[in-house]
Homo-oligomer: A and B are copies of this chain.
Amino acid sequence: MTRKFTEKTLLVATHNAGKLHEMRGIFDQHGITLKSAADFDLPEPEETETTFVGNARIKAHAAAKATGMPALADDSGIAVDALDGEPGVYTADWAETPHGRDFMKAMEKTHRLLDEIGAPEPRTAHFHATLVLAWPDGHEEVFEGVANGRLVWPPRGRDGHGYDPIFVPNGDDRTFAEMSWTEKNAISHRARAIAALVEALLD
């Protein structure tokens, strides 16, 4: 059975300020205050799984067990059709450098691979987000969201993170990074997964 979320405070198991900001805009409307992993000085567990849900689960259950509170975790990435779904769950890995994450490196690698195989336009791609809400007793609820679109080159726009500067969602001509927070949050993969959570667990 679905377990409703009835508390007024929710821990989000992320150190990513952008994700927290995006979620805060939505949960505020439901009278729920978000706490972050940083508020509790939680460690970042290693993401060793091969699926979005596997990695989101690791983070959600670790945070719920460490704090005794329900904890929400997110795993997300972009699947490029001509690359048979890559980078997918390895989106962040493609951006790893000795000095941190550099998504320009990952975007350039993607573009180079697409050119090498001669992938025709449109270079369709899909942002996926998986949310896991875990309780300290091990119960969990899982939600997914998708944003459909295409990759463009060169990158455009200053806002957004990850692949946002080269992803144009269907129904628009701008990249995610050229949109305002409000515009992106109306159609993003994460917004859709959160909407599914809200529909199932809050209303």
Q: Does A74 contact B (CB under 8 A)?
A: no
For A57, give the chain B residue with the smallest CB separation.
B81
Note all chain B residues with C-beta closer than 8 A to A150. Answer: 2
Q: Tell me, in angstroms, the Cα distance from A3 to B121 when the chains sit together.
A: 10
Q: Tell me, in angstroms, the Cα distance from A138 to B71 when the chains sit together.
A: 46
Report 29 cross-chain contacts, Cβ distance below 8 Å, ordered by A residue: A1-B122, A2-B150, A3-B122, A49-B84, A50-B84, A51-B84, A51-B85, A53-B84, A53-B124, A54-B84, A57-B81, A120-B138, A120-B139, A120-B140, A122-B139, A122-B141, A124-B141, A124-B142, A126-B142, A142-B148, A143-B148, A143-B170, A144-B148, A145-B146, A146-B146, A170-B196, A170-B199, A170-B200, A171-B199
Which A residues are closer than 8 A to B by beta carbons? 1-3, 49-51, 53-54, 57, 81, 84-85, 120-122, 124, 126, 138-146, 148, 150, 170-171, 196, 199-200
